[in-house]
Amino acid sequence: MTDTRPRTEMETIVAEVWCKALDVEHIELDDTFVDLGGDSMDALQVVAEIEKRLGVKLDHENSFVSTLEQVAANLEKETKV
């Protein structure tokens, strides 16, 4: 069985923000924001929190249809967390 929990610091940050916004306890690396039930209001909350925590502008289009792993990898490229 493959471990699909967040492994990196960035994956953990994104997972924490998504969990809070979506009121879920656990997110796996292959989950997407939309598949977890996220809507546009949740997305606004997520964007604001990630931008606040990391000091970067989030790519809104791809951040909600990409997996947690993909979103974190893209953010890692933009920051050096």
> What domains appear along the chain, each with residue ranges and CATH number?
9-78 (1.10.1200.10)
* DSSP, res 67: B
User: pLDDT tens digits for 42-69?
Assistant: 998 999 999 999 888 776 776 788 999 9
pTM value surpassing 0.85:
yes
Q: How many CB atoms lie within 10 A of CB 65?
A: 12
**The tokens 């009121």 sit on which residue?**
23
Report the alpha-carbon distance of residue 66 to residue 44 in Å, rounded. 16
Read off the pLDDT of each residue in 7-28 and give the average, rounded to a whole number.
95
